[in-house]
Amino acid sequence: MVRPRGLPEAVAAVPVAGVVLAIGLTTPQAAWDRVVEILPTMGFLAAILLVSHLAAIDGVFIWLGSRLAEVCRGEPKRLLVLTFVAAAGVTAVLSLDATVVLLTPVVLATAEGLRLESKPHVYACAHLANSASTLLPVSNLTNLLAFAASGLTFAGFTALMALPWLVMILIELAIFSRFFNRDLAGPCSTEKPQHREPPVFALVVLGVMLVGFGVGQLVHVEPVWVAALAALVLSARALAERKIKPWQVVTEASPMLVLFVLGLAITVEAVDEHGLGGALKAFLPTTAALPELLLTTAIAAVLANLVNNLPATLILLSVLGDHPNTGVLLAVLIGVNVGPNATYLGSLATLLWRRVLARHGHTPRAREFTALGALTTPVSLAAATTALWLVLP
């Protein structure tokens, strides 16, 4: 979280994993099994991060910002609704990292270009990067880690999470409108936004990729290969047009982030073996009645805010075992994805969002973020879990 001197997280995670193995807190075989288990997920993560960066290079996010500015007609409340739609869509398709790193600066620039208060809109990016990441298996690394254990198809996962996803977004929008009422009550902007032509090639590739996620499993093609193909197509075009250098294709796939997650997985394996896993098994339900689902969501949300949502997911998946109850597993995902909106420490995405805003001269206040989270998070968790219970077979 601190990242002294900007060093990548892997600088801490990989040596710690080495220490865990050296002193025997877990066996090399158990560590290797865990790494092999999540390696395809890491391949997908690298591919989708590269796709997001290449889409940004082609102007997808700048074009999206211009469309927000044109369609909102200078009205602050309309811009907030459009930002919710854009952030939810980007998070679902390109993952929460794209919303935090690529969409947030565009939304900030759009609001400032219209001379509107930017706070409601950039806060929307932070919240929806977490809460809107429940829709697709590819929307969040936590979903990807759980997807293999779920036994669901891509379409089946999406169908079960669609109603909880929609309920959360509507609740967040209603509370945001009230919480930021003063910021949204200002006069309409008279600034005329700059029109930009859509980046057709990149948008087509993204659309085909999304369809590929849905139908790929019908022909036994995993999402990692669909994302890798999209990354290959966009990379080839960007290299041919000299928009990107060959070494950037590697660096933008974030190999250090992949190493961080692998190191973290080995460390979590040891933590699970030496006490925490047993303690959680005593409290974590195994059936999908509504009270049990609500308890599961609460446990996952609290754990995410204590140890961050990625380690929380790894720990809880280990506790649930190889064949978890589908409802309980999806309730865990609601908890670890939505729960981090309560505090800064709940997810890496929120920490990254703060860093992105600081680079653009804006420092969000912890007190305001926590107050907003206290209003949105408990209601969203309860409503989304209830919606999940309603749609479970």
| Mean pLDDT within 356-360 | 82
Q: What are the pLDDT digits (tens) for 207-235?
A: 999 888 878 877 778 888 999 999 999 99
* Amino acid 248: pLDDT: 87
Q: Which amino acid is at 44?
A: F
Of residues 131 and 217, which shows the higher confidence score? 131
* Amino acid 54: pLDDT: 92
Alpha-carbon dihedral 263, 267, 273, 275, rounded to 10 degrees: -150
| Confidence (pTM) | 0.85
Residue 32 has pLDDT above 70, yes or no: yes
Q: What are the pLDDT digits (tens) for 134-179?
A: 999 989 889 988 887 888 888 899 999 999 999 999 999 999 999 9
CB-based contact 300:319 (threshold 8 Å): no
Task: For the chain, state the CA radius of gyration.
Answer: 21
Report the distance separating Cα 334 and Cα 328, nearest Å. 10
Q: What are the pLDDT digits (tens) for 81-90?
A: 999 999 999 9
CB-based contact 102:52 (threshold 8 Å): yes
Of residues 266 and 291, which shows the higher confidence score? 291
* Amino acid 81: pLDDT: 95
- Burial label for 179, CB within 10 Å (0-12, 13-18, 19+), is middle
Mean pLDDT taken over the chain: 89
Of residues 387 and 102, which shows the higher confidence score? 387
Q: What are phi and psi of 284, to 5 degrees?
A: -75, 125
Residue 281 has pLDDT above 80, yes or no: no
Residue 344 has pLDDT above 70, yes or no: yes
Report the distance separating Cα 171 and Cα 167, nearest Å. 6
* Amino acid 300: pLDDT: 95
| Mean pLDDT within 189-197 | 84
Residue 275 has pLDDT above 80, yes or no: no
* Amino acid 269: pLDDT: 79
Report the distance separating Cα 245 and Cα 148, nearest Å. 34
Percent over 70 (pLDDT), the chain = 98
Q: What are the pLDDT digits (tens) for 290-332?
A: 999 999 999 999 999 988 888 888 889 888 887 889 999 999 9
* Amino acid 277: pLDDT: 67
CB-based contact 95:101 (threshold 8 Å): no
1 pLDDT band, cuts 50/70/90, is low
